[in-house]
A and B are shown apart, each in its own frame.
Chain A
Amino acid sequence: MARAVSTQRKTITTAVAWLLGLMMFFPILWIAILSLKTEGDAIRAPIEVLSSVWTFESFGAVQQRSDYLKHFTNSVVISFGSTFLGLLIAIPAAWAMAFVPGKRTKDVLMWMLSTKMLPPVGVLVPIYLIFRDAELLDTRVGLVFVLMMINLPIIIWMLYTYFREIPGEILEAARMDGASLREEVFFVLMPMAIPGMASTVLLNVILAWNEAFWTLNLTAADAAPLTAFIASYSSPEGLFYAKLSAASIMAIAPILIMGWFSQKQLVRGLTFGAVK
């Protein structure tokens, strides 16, 4: 039951929480500010930074320094591509486990989750060599495939938990009504599972967008997504704070917004249901 809390106590809690919240958020806020400054102003003391002129020039400079839009497109293609490809494979699998459970369903699901726990570095060498010899290094196709594979267990797991909330009787009704398996999935299951599928897509796009082991190791220039593009600022030339800030803000803004919408799904997706 909600209890009346003294205004004084609420005020103190609010003040402390906001202070800590702003501290956590400050680095993001700070790069947002720096991105709107000139390179010369961006390295000055914080107070001087705030009082200096505001400008959008860094955003243009980022595109000129190296083709920002290309990397942004790569990120979009790779994260959405891998998620939708994963969905294509995961929907039938989740259907099978949720609605036709057998004795081994749980074991299969657990095994699928366990593949997610394989450390990427343990298979870095073979994947790298396979990619080299199959000429998949620095290609979007290759990255879409790898990211699809590493997120597939999470996609299957999330869809499975959402599908399980749909009563089996409705699918049986569809079967009685003469729907084929394909019609059952497309006309009944998928429309009912839209919210769950949307959350699954959201979380997995975020995970793929921020994935920085495979994207750094398997790309060079052509297929490099934003993670790799930003990494190129680790060996900088000249003044680069404003440009780095602008590039970073553009790289994280879309995902921050998506992330705020998917807080709840984050818990469901990343804890595999161990916390509810």
Chain B
Amino acid sequence: MATQHSRAAARMMISPAVLLLLCWMLIPLGLTIYFSFLRFNLIMPSGNEMVIGVFGHGLRVPGPEDFSGWENFYWFITDPSFQAAIINTLVLVGGVLLITVIGGILFALLLDQPMWGQGIVRILVIAPFFVMPTVSGLVWKNMFMNPVNGIFAHLAIGLGMEPFDFFSQAPLASIIWIVSWQWLPFATLILLTALQSLDQEQLEAAEMDGANWINRFFFVMLPHLARAITVVILIQTIFLLSIFAEILVTTNGGPGTATTNLTYLIYVSSLLQFDVGMGSAGGVIAIILANIVAIFLMRMIGKNLDA
């Protein structure tokens, strides 16, 4: 169904969305890349400012005189806190993925079994996903992991043990724990959806063929879930690379740089240390990292669109 009239109408109808998204993508992206090659500190203006007229006020940024080449990238990458941040980011993302994917598969298998009150259990399991990150960060930090007043401390004392100070002794693990609590419901929900689309006859056929429970899981269920697991991994990775609020409200990246991930490091250098050039160089690196994951994800989505 397409006439010239309708095609012209379609172009007109889609253009606001396309233009907005194009601006949203290109302007900040272009500026980030531009800034990343500049000596640009918010509290130490170089005096070479130029005004880019975006709004009535215009945007005050350093001119090309402050070009610094790859300097920002060099300093950002060689900074020890960058290496720490990269390692923390990888550990954070990897740890959460490991917990949520394995936990998600187990939860999904469990919730797929016949039981009483399935709907309610499902609701209970999914609930943490809807808790805002700042709330879950603070609640875990204070009500559970606080070494004096937290539930875990009370429990330890009740059992005659020394309370464990989570955020000073295992800060990154504590954050992994909190984030996993938030994302386990997501993995469970998606894997459960995928599991429920598995043709029961396939399982019955496998049973007739003499496959026991473990065989059925590894040879029928797991291959069926493979696609959903990949999707969970890719989508969560995109979101987990940007973990921010949980760190901000619990550890502020510390102690030292123990819980500083790439996102938090960029935030610190640009908005706390006012070094926009350095922060932007970090931003460019973050974009490149996310794109590596995004390419795989987009491929999977694209394949599915054709089907």
Contact = CB atoms under 8 A, between A and B. Distances in A.
Chains A and B directly touch (beta carbon < 8 Å)? yes
Interface of A: 1-2, 5, 10, 13-14, 16-18, 20-22, 24-25, 27-28, 30-31, 34, 43, 45-46, 89-90, 92-93, 95-97, 99-100, 102, 106, 108-115, 117-130, 133-135, 149, 152-153, 156, 168, 171-172, 181, 206, 209-210, 212-213, 216-217, 226-228, 230-231, 233-234, 240-241, 244-245, 248, 251-252, 255-256, 258-260, 263, 266-267, 270-276
A92 B301 contact: no
Interface string B54-78: 1111111100000000000000000
State which size class the interface on B falls in: 35 or more
A230 B132 contact: yes
Contact of B135 (A14, A111, A251): A251
A93 B18 contact: yes
Contacts of A234: 134, 137-138, 141, 248-250
B115 A260 contact: no
Contacts of A129: 31, 59-61, 276
A259 B138 contact: no
A122 B17 contact: no
B128 interface: yes
Nearest to B182: A210
Given A128-B270, A260-B126, A252 B135 contact: yes
Contacts of B120: 21
A127 B28 contact: yes
Contacts of A118: 25, 29, 287, 290
Contacts of A31: 139, 143
A25 B126 CA distance: 8
Interface string B216-241: 00000000000110010001001001
Interface of A is mostly: helix
B169 interface: no
Contacts of B149: 43, 241
B233 to A, nearest CB: 11
B134 A212 contact: yes
A17 B20 CA distance: 46
Contacts of B59: 129-130, 133-134
Which residue among B134, B155, B158, B231 has the maximum number of chain A CB atoms within 10 Å of its CB?
B134
Contacts of B287: 118-119, 122
A119 B241 contact: yes
A240 B190 CA distance: 37
